[in-house]
A and B are shown apart, each in its own frame.
Chain A
Amino acid sequence: MKVELFIRRFNPETDTKSRMVRYEVEVEPTDRLLDALNAIKWYQDGTLTFRKSCAHGICGSDAMLINGVNRLACKVLIKDLGDRITVEPLRGFRVIKDLVVDMEPFFAAYRSVKPYLINDEPAPRTERRQSPEERERFDDTTKCILCAACTTSCPSFWANEDYIGPAAIVNAHRFLFDSRDRGAAERVDILNSKFGVWRCRTIFNCADACPRGIEVTRAIQDVKRFLLNARI
């Protein structure tokens, strides 16, 4: 089938503002949007710029604004998008070129919550044991692939780029609720700050955008309740 793609393009060397460019490609309904973008880049216009890597929905490179919602180009099928498709870069970050945005602020927010196991207790002779129930507590938030679809769908983040955003909170949740972790006190300052979880207004755009189906808003709510009851 023939589909029309309207892609928001921006070349920092020649453009002062972005423009919509129309392409026509021949694709199968069961192709993914990424296949259509590749068809353009490989056979029509090699200057079209976008990130991609694994192409199987796990590396988190190709999140973009597709028909007005954040999706992974490698997961969404043409038949679910219709024959007029708009593709734009993620909102809220500086556009470097075409669909490529500057992800550095995103990863800075991610690093700020210390997304790794913190435990100073002497290591036991064997593993740090954990029951299936304890593991289950944070299972949902282990699925994050850091694609930024959630953070860039969040109106609170659009309004204030210093908000650490849903993705950073999801990854804080991953360790806050891990029974082996002792780092809660180190994470509380940033999570409880004015750029932390309290900027969440439970709009639920993040949970809608997550390509991994993480209950992002519920995870943020878990962290809010944790801060409310914390004795640290």
Chain B
Amino acid sequence: MWAWILHRVTGVGVMIFIVIHILDTWLIGFGPEVYDTVMNIYRHPIFRLGEVALVGALLFHALNGLRVILIDFWPEAGLFQKQRQLFQVVVVLFFILYVPVAGYMIWDIIY
């Protein structure tokens, strides 16, 4: 159940980002000044932390998405214990990939 909840939360989060991203890209139509002003807001540490969260959401959603595809097409993966093991693999892979990336991004914000 937690895999599904996290998948849904990260999915909605990424979708909200995409909507904002489409809107800010659209601002280029009003000229470079408007666009640059908005882009400068994104340099604020709060938005940069949001970026760290975005990478995490994308990474989890992608990894768990592969798990869901396995559950859909590989009958064995539909077994309760098997899908649980697959979720554990997703969590481990997530941390292996995310910790260095998030560390680097946060280090970049601070220094």
Contact residues on B (Cβ < 8 Å of other chain), bracket: 10 to 19
Tell me the bound Cα distance from A44 to B75 in angstroms. 50
Q: Please state if B1 and A205 are interface contacts (CB–CB under 8 Å).
A: yes
Interface string of B72-96 (1 = CB under 8 A from A): 1101001110011000000000000
Distance in Å: Cβ of A200 to nearest Cβ of chain B: 10
Say which residue of B4, B73, B78 sits within 8 Å of A218 (CB atoms): B78
Q: Please state if B79 and A215 are interface contacts (CB–CB under 8 Å).
A: yes
Say which residue of A205, A207, A218 sits within 8 Å of B75 (CB atoms): A218
Q: Please state if B79 and A202 are interface contacts (CB–CB under 8 Å).
A: no
Tell me the bound Cα distance from A208 to B83 in angstroms. 12
Tell me the bound Cα distance from A225 to B73 in angstroms. 8
Residue on B with the closest CB to A218? B78
Residue on A with the closest CB to B80? A207
* Interface core residue of A155, A201, A204, A205 (most chain B CB under 10 Å): A204
Interface string of A173-216 (1 = CB under 8 A from B): 00000000000000000000000000001111101100000010
- With a cutoff of 8 Å between Cβ atoms, the chain A residues found around residue B68 in the complex are 202
Say which residue of B1, B4, B72 sits within 8 Å of A221 (CB atoms): B72
Q: Does chain A have a CB within 8 A of B57?
A: no
Interface residues of B in 20-76 (CB under 8 A from A): 68, 71-73, 75
Residue on A with the closest CB to B68? A202
Tell me the bound Cα distance from A205 to B80 in angstroms. 9
- With a cutoff of 8 Å between Cβ atoms, the chain B residues found around residue A217 in the complex are 71, 78, 80, 83
Q: B-contacting residues of A (Cβ < 8 Å)?
A: 155, 201-205, 207-208, 215, 217-218, 221-222, 224-225
6 sample A-B contacts, Cβ–Cβ < 8 Å, listed by A number: A155-B1, A202-B78, A204-B4, A205-B1, A207-B80, A221-B75
Additional 17 contacts, C-beta under 8 A, given A202-B68, A221-B75: A155-B1, A155-B4, A201-B4, A202-B78, A204-B1, A204-B84, A207-B80, A215-B78, A215-B79, A215-B80, A217-B71, A217-B83, A218-B75, A221-B71, A221-B78, A225-B73, A225-B75
